[in-house]
Homo-oligomer: A and B are copies of this chain.
Amino acid sequence: MPGEFELIARYFHRDLSAAPGVLLGPGDDCALLAPSDGMQLAVSVDTSVAGVHFPPDAPASAIGHRALAVNLSDLAAMGATPRWALLALTLPDVDEDWLHGFAAGFHALADRHGIALVGGDVTRGPLSITITVHGELPLVLNAASTIDRVSQPILRRDGASEDDLVVITGQPGLAHAGLKAWQSGQRDVLDPCLAAYLRPEPRIDAGMALRELASAALDVSDGVMGDLSHICRASQLSAAIELNQLPLAPELIAALGEQGAQQAVLNGGDDYELLLTLPEANLDAARAVLRASHLSLTVIGRMHTTQEEVHRVSLLKAGVEQIATGQSWQHFPANTTAEVSS
């Protein structure tokens, strides 16, 4: 898009002289970065495609916010401090109003989390946004001053232990209700469900605060059942979730009813809350460190071993195993096998 580069640069190039570790920002072949001494880099990439990951007619500022939020959420799930982002933007045409809104949504969230946009690429094509984020984490060296891969204080997926609690931040499910509301034509962006969907809040502070207290973590993009199964598989354990302990926001129950609310938490996603495992002894400390950010931490289950080779997530209601039947759950029949996730 010759000539249009200038226009686009106007929306995305900013003064980076105060951004930590940025030796050269956009405009050359590469950005140049000076990683901090004694740190390791956490790097992640995510693509948001119009009509697949977001409604093309959503407010441009929400699209900019959301595209960055889902990437920051990956840093949160690792406990990393956000540092640098690269933005690859594929646009069907150059719409200055849209670019202005998109950039405003992107930069507002970026500024709040101290992540600098150091490079990018703009191409012509179907609307799609790919963001690469870089965060930093302490790099622990062992006695011989070499790197020991397993002893790093990182929120990996494979660190859960038997009897660890399964906990979740905040009040998940609202974004799923918001997606349904958007699809049904609601456009009141101040509605708590719609707001949760359009502008999810990456749990950066929580991830950093819980880095040394939790044993495993990920961000919930596909619902608790599916995402917890990733931790089970990586950690070679099973998990049991208690239906009655799910944190259901009153607005969520108002929007979807109680069973719909449970369904949203278990199988909906898009909130990008953190799902973690931790030793019971760390629970009070974990809740204490989240108090500063006014974020709740709810125990929803526990990790356990299984005699079989399979690692699965089971659902209990008042301690009795359930099986999903459409939009509801029933007692688990003794002689069938629940969905296996390993």
Residues of A within 8 A of B (CB): 2, 23-24, 27-35, 37, 40-49, 51-53, 74-75, 77-78, 80, 84, 86-88, 90, 118-121, 123-126, 128, 130, 132, 134-135, 137, 139, 147, 149, 152, 154-158, 217-219, 222, 226, 234
Contact = CB atoms under 8 A, between A and B. Distances in A.
- Most chain B beta-carbon neighbours within 10 Å: one of A27, A47, A86, A120: A47
A32 B158 CA distance: 14
B128 A219 contact: no
Nearest to A141: B34
B23 A147 contact: yes
13 contacts: A30-B43, A30-B78, A30-B80, A31-B44, A32-B41, A32-B43, A34-B147, A43-B119, A48-B123, A51-B125, A125-B126, A126-B128, A132-B132
> Majority SS of interface residues in chain A?
strand
| Number of chain copies forming the complex | 2
A48 B125 CA distance: 10
A24 B156 contact: yes
A265 to B, nearest CB: 18
B43 A218 contact: no
Counting from the closest, the 3 A-B pairs by CB-CB distance are: A49-B125, A30-B42, A29-B77
